Amino acid sequence: MGGLMMKKSVFTAVSAIAFAAASVAYAGPSAEVLHWWTSGGEAKSVAVLQKEFADNGGTWTDMPVAGGGGDAAMTALRARVLAGNAPTAVQLKGPAIQEWYEEGVLADISAVAEAEGWEGVLPASIAGHMKCDGKWCAAPVNVHRVDWIWANADVLAANGIAMPTTWDEFNAAADKLAAAGITPLAHGGQAWQDATVFEAVALGILGPEGFHKAFVELDMDTLKSDKMVAVFDQMRKMRGYVDANFSGRDWNLATAMVMNGEAAFQIMGDWAKGEFLAAGKVPGKDFLCASVPGDGFLYNVDSFAMFKVDGDDKQAGQGLLAKLIVGQNFQKVFNLNKGSIPARTDVAMDEFDSCAHLSAKDMSESSANGSLLPSYAHGMALRGAQSGAITDVVTAHFNSDMSSADAVKMLADAVANSL
């Protein structure tokens, strides 16, 4: 009997130790999140997700890596993956998601996506970026529209100018402004800003189908076409509308030029709206927003890819994080802070400004008619080698006297050599 009691006591003690060990191993959902949202508005936006994660019992380990383009973050990520210690979730976008999947390091979060009904609330083209071989591997946070034109309302009114709806109207307005001593186009001479203006011009001149052929399919006939020559012709005009000190200027300083009336227009994604709003400016009154001339909608989607991790706590954290990121509450609060619009099409827009309403309406219509297109300039349409080759040509043309015909030849050659 004493032996039996001893065995029972040992069994009870071992069970207690095992239970305690299990409790330590799984203390609730946890996530280490690598991102590059380190500026004021961005940090405020990611803090919303941290709070919601904590409110749902999760433990968040923040891994911010400064650098707006994410290059430093990608270097840090590669080191972690090579060491066999990947973060739980990483800010990634566009084809970079599929590149990491091809390395065999992304997790399958289809169970969360299916339980939450993502397929029914995300535009099909945006959902496509979040899948790897048909399985969900990333969660979209927002949709930034890239092809915006922003304007100083007072400057336009004082010069009798309406927001342009064609490139001919834009050129006429710019010529009139230049004659009045006002810089028509605020621009920063950085490669990605040149590419942003270029793809907005290209969308307007090539049309949505031509843009897709050129910058998604890399169709040589389109890249070498007369219409592409016309795109570079318009870029040459744009070069004449910027001030002499544009080289190297950050995008937000160009936005400030429009804000204070030094310049009339800026072509930039809707992160520029965040600058206007932060300065207390009111859309429709102090500044105007419109899509650039032409049809279509160029998007840049922030998202988080989920990496393969060991441990029930990390895997539970991954599931919770994915659920919250695409949840209605976070999609609303985050995008009110960021200047973008929700990736979900069923989020109430009552608290959003008039520019966001226009963006949401255009996204819905473009999704329905096939003109919702990935931005090449912002890493959504192409892999790095191809997008870099195109941008090198755009910048070389913008900063020289190169003819449009020569630029088109160089473009076709650069793309062919990058494949």
Task: Please state whether beta strands 131-132 and 135-136 pair in parallel, antiparallel, or not at all (unpaired).
Answer: antiparallel
Decide if 276 contacts 191 (C-beta within 8 A): no
Q: What percent of the chain has pLDDT over 90?
A: 84
Confidence check: pLDDT of 408 > 90: yes
CA 136/CA 159 separation, integer angstroms: 51
pLDDT for res 419: 93
Decide if 374 contacts 147 (C-beta within 8 A): no
Domain count, the chain: 2
Q: What is the pLDDT of residues 129-156, one digit of tens each?
A: 999 999 999 999 999 999 999 999 999 9
Confidence check: pLDDT of 98 > 60: yes
* Region 335-343 average pLDDT: 90
Place of tokens 């297109």: 373
pLDDT for res 278: 82
Give the list of residues 6+ apart from residue 62 with CB closer than 8 angstroms, or none.
33, 46, 50
Phi first, then psi, for residue 375 (nearest 5°) are: -70, 125
pLDDT for res 78: 94
Q: What is the pLDDT of residues 224-265, one digit of tens each?
A: 999 999 999 999 999 999 999 999 999 999 999 999 999 999
* Region 199-217 average pLDDT: 98
| Residue 17 covered by a domain | no
Decide if 233 contacts 409 (C-beta within 8 A): no
Q: What is the pLDDT of residues 5-46, one digit of tens each?
A: 444 444 444 444 443 344 444 579 999 999 988 776 678 888
Quickly state the pLDDT bin for 71 (edges 50, 70, 90). Answer: confident
Q: Tell me, yes or no, whether 373 and 330 share the same domain.
A: no
Q: Tell me, yes or no, whether 256 and 162 share the same domain.
A: yes
Q: Tell me, yes or no, whether 250 and 313 share the same domain.
A: no
CA 108/CA 134 separation, integer angstroms: 10
- Alpha carbons within 13 angstroms on the beta-carbon side of residue 10 total 6
| Residue 195 covered by a domain | yes
Q: Tell me, yes or no, whether 313 and 281 share the same domain.
A: no
Question: Can you give the C-alpha Rg of the chain in angstroms?
Answer: 25
pTM: 0.87
Last residue of one domain, picked from the residues 338, 358, 378: 358
| Residue 383 covered by a domain | yes
Which range (34-43, 53-62, 115-124, 213-222) has the least confidence? Answer: 34-43
Q: Tell me, yes or no, whether 152 and 248 share the same domain.
A: yes
Identify the domain containing residue 61 by its residue range: 28-144+301-358
Q: Tell me, yes or no, whether 259 and 370 share the same domain.
A: yes
